[in-house]
Amino acid sequence: MAFINLPKPWKISENQITPETVYYNRRSFLKGVVTTSIAASLIPLTGCQKSASQTALEATLNLPKIPNLKTSPKFSQVDRPITKEILAGQYNNFYEFGSTKKIWLNAQNLPTENWKVEVTGLVKNPKTYDIDDLKKKFPLEERIYRFRCVEAWSMVLPWVGFPMKALMAAVEPKSEAKFVSFTSFYDKEITTGPSFHLGYLPWPYKEGLTIEEMANDLAFFAVGIYGHDLPKQHGAPLRMVIPWKYGFKGAKSIVKVEFLKEKPATYWNTIDPNEYDFQANVNPAKPHPRWSQATEKFISTGPGLSWEIKETLPYNGYGEYVASLYS
């Protein structure tokens, strides 16, 4: 394909990953939280006098609360603290709005009014849902999940949404349906992407699962986070959350769900199948071609962006729910 021999600017620079040597040196003398230079690139969070950018950031997170919310008893706890909302809300990946982590402001251009989600393909009851109908049709619950990015950073996030299998039950996949493709919003006037290679990235962003993965208890559609509607930078108004897979499998701002016979082409896998495989289960024993996946930088508390180095767990700690899918 045309882009294969071009420079690959989407490859994150090495300083976004902790090189193993740095990590091991650090580990030998640092206990607990490690604050690093990324903190300097975030909005300094102050208690008293807020900067204009901090006020603007907080406004993007100040969204309607989801009423009568209950936390799922099964998925209410992980052995780590929930990441501070203001950190999760300003350290994002959303390539449609740029290739840095700081897309929260650009992402506010996403037009979420009158959002529709088309559910189509090999199903008995294809339907285009209005987002408000979706939110009313499927009971919403809060689930606290670990989140592990392929770039070796992680968070714990309190999502609000409904299990994917609830949507499957409503549309009734036909027996020929073996895969599901999820497509993100794309409009080249709005989602202008990283400026440097516009034109040859395989937009729109797409992700895919097997039908068995989508039917798994853990597979989730989020419409909210931290008890309120989903901010645009997190992929409003509907995104995928697949906690045993690397974060790139969780497509944001979904407009289409299609049930298919064949495995669909997906965004990162099309760009570089060697670096981003279709399955993308979190696996500490399988290094990324350019860095180890054995550990992760767990981002949790402020005041700046700081992290603790943690061991990465197989299936991100969800093996008891999903390992049997791959045996």
Which one of 11-19, 24-32, 90-98, 111-119 is the stretch in contact with ligand MTE (CB under 6 A)?
Answer: 90-98
What tokens were used for 75? 């998925």
Instruction: Note whether 248 binds ligand MTE by CB under 6 A.
Output: yes
Which one of 59-67, 114-122, 246-254, 313-321 is the stretch in contact with ligand MTE (CB under 6 A)?
Answer: 246-254
Least Å from the CB of residue 155 to ligand MTE? 7
Helix H or strand E segment including 196? none
Nearer to ligand MTE, 205 or 226 (CB): 205
- Which residues, including other chains, have CB under 8 Å from residue 287's CB and lie 6 or more apart? 293, 294
- Which one-letter DSSP state was computed for residue 253? S
- Which residues, including other chains, have CB under 8 Å from residue 31's CB and lie 6 or more apart? none
CA angle (288 as vertex; 287, 291 as ends), nearest 5: 85
Least Å from the CB of residue 149 to ligand MTE? 4
Nearer to ligand MTE, 66 or 150 (CB): 150
Q: Which of 83, 93, 181, 216 binds ligand MTE (CB under 6 A)?
A: 93
Half-sphere exposure of 320 (CA within 13 A, CB side): 3
20 backbone dihedrals φ, ψ, rounded to 5°: -55, -40
Instruction: Note whether 181 binds ligand MTE by CB under 6 A.
Output: no
On whether the CB atoms of residues 101 and 91 are closer than 8 A, the answer is yes
Binding mask 137-176 for ligand MTE (x = CB under 6 A): ------------x---------------------------
Whether the ω angle into residue 204 lies within 30 degrees of 0, i.e. cis, is: yes
- Which residues, including other chains, have CB under 8 Å from residue 224's CB and lie 6 or more apart? 66, 140, 159, 160, 161, 230
Q: Which of 300, 231, 320 is nearest to 82 (CA)?
A: 300
Instruction: Note whether 282 binds ligand MTE by CB under 6 A.
Output: no
Q: Which of 250, 257, 295, 322 binds ligand MTE (CB under 6 A)?
A: 250
Nearer to ligand MTE, 173 or 316 (CB): 316
Least Å from the CB of residue 244 to ligand MTE? 14
**Residues making contact with ligand MTE (CB under 6 A):** 92-96, 149, 184, 205, 234-235, 247-248, 250-253
